[in-house]
Amino acid sequence: MQKGGCVVGSSGPPLVIVAAICGAETTREDNPNLPLTPEELAEAATLARAAGAAMVHLHVRDQAGRPTQDREVFRRTMELIRAQSDILIQVSTGGAVGMTLEERAQPLELDPDMATLTCGTVNFGEGVFLNPPDGIRQLARRMLERGIRPELEILDVGMLAFAQRLEKEGLIKPPLHFDLVLGVRGGIPGGARNLVHLVESLPPGATWSVAGIGRWETPMGAMAIAMGGHVRVGLEDNVYYHRGVLAESNAQLVARMARIAAELGRPVADPATARQILGLPEGRPQGSAGSTA
Ligand code: KMH
Ligand code: ZN
């Protein structure tokens, strides 16, 4: 994949759309269409797949709708998703602000297709999303041991340098895959100049996607499509379809990206194609969600 190559007007490389369907912070008060239970999350993932998503970025909630990293809730949700859909599953190891690293690491035991690895600490609204160097190393080591490919979450510029240090230490293996998150209150703001700076700072051979937060979701996604990157959209990142108009579903946000991609000459990748693009190991058996080993 080209780092910054413009593909507008040509038939470009397939586009991987990731659906961030729930998150840890979004509430039903923010958007009543937010899926929360394992059944609702599985249905949302299936509909997102039908709309063009190749991978789901997964958080789960407890019975009261609060964020949890409980392994058994993840297991149930992953089993339901895999029973209904071939969508790839990327589990969150970020969890919610305030969780310990041990809590956050639980879904790694379930053999997900991919997992997030945030590469530094950042203010997160009024909270602090704590990712000290040795904590990041611990998560990276567990992923390496289990053969889980990390998606490197970059919420500010300095995190890129730490990712490259992890690579030098042998804790992550090239080609690296990055998710450039712009617009978190405390991280790098959204905008064309910031996105171009991040993309031009990536190591050679890297693949990348963009997650624009709030009003940045659509413009950053459209830019990423034009620049040859990939996109993440969903209610975790943005609850609106238009200013003041709530999104009806995650699938609606995915479908918009698929339409923009079609106009810009990027076919949407199915999960098998996304596997190749992202360098993921061969598929896990359908209907399974790992062992407890
Ligand atoms: N909920 C955020 C504090 C991830 O999923 O890896 C962290 C997050 C990142 O959502
Ligand atoms: Zn997340």
Whole-model pTM: value is: 0.94
Interval between CA 193 and ligand 1 midpoint (Å) = 24
Q: Is residue 74 classed exposed, middle or buried when 0-12, 13-18 and 19+ CB atoms within 10 A define those classes?
A: buried
For the chain, domain boundaries? 13-278
pLDDT of residue 130: 98
Q: What's the pLDDT tens digit per position in 223-250?
A: 999 999 999 999 999 999 999 999 999 9
pLDDT at residue 286 in the model: 47
Pocket of ligand 1 (CB under 6 A): 23-25, 92-94, 96-97, 116, 118, 124, 129, 153
Q: Residues in the chain with pLDDT < 70?
A: 1-10, 283-293
Angular region, 216: left φ>0, alpha ψ -120 to 50, beta rest? alpha
pLDDT of residue 284: 60
User: Which residue has the least CA distance to atom 7 on ligand 1?
Assistant: 94
| CA 11 / ligand 2 centre spacing (Å) | 31
pLDDT tens, position by position, 148-173: 999 999 999 999 999 999 999 999 99
Residue indicated by tokens 């009261």 = 64
Mutate to test the pocket of ligand 1, among 92, 97, 181 (most ligand atoms within 8 A of CB): 92
pLDDT of residue 101: 97
Query: Homologous superfamily of 13-278 in CATH?
Result: Aldolase class I (3.20.20.70)
The span from the CA of 97 to the CA of 285, in Å, is 32
Residue identifier of the C-alpha nearest atom 2 of ligand 1: 96
Q: Is-cis flag, bond preceding 150, omega within 30?
A: no
Q: What is the predicted pLDDT for the residue at 291?
A: 42
Count the residues in the chain.
293
- pLDDT value, residue 282: 80
